[in-house]
Amino acid sequence: MVANNWHSETIARFKTLSIDALEYIKQDAHRAAVIGETIDNPKTGQYWDEFHYATMELKKRTEQC
């Protein structure tokens, strides 16, 4: 996977996932990001991106109902 396509590919992939999967990713990414900040993990930004992308997709689906 090309790094500069990661964001658009992740957003597109999240559109295909179930609500349960998105909820799991949201919780897991949030935990990883918070912990990552305490230990200066270089992937912390990616975890926050996953958290936000999952949140955005869940909100979009809620608004469509």
How confident is the model over 19-32, as a mean pLDDT?
A: 98
Say yes or no to pLDDT of 1 above 60: no
- Return the HEC string of 5-40: HHHHHHHHHHCCCCHHHHHHHHHHHHHHHHHHHHCC
- In which band, very low, low, confident or very high, does the pLDDT at 4 lie, cut at 50, 70 and 90? confident
Which tokens hold the place of 5? 């396509």
pTM: 0.89
Q: Taking residues 54-63, report their average pLDDT.
A: 96
Confidence of residue 3 (pLDDT cuts 50, 70, 90): low
Give 64's pLDDT tier (boundaries 50, 70, 90): confident
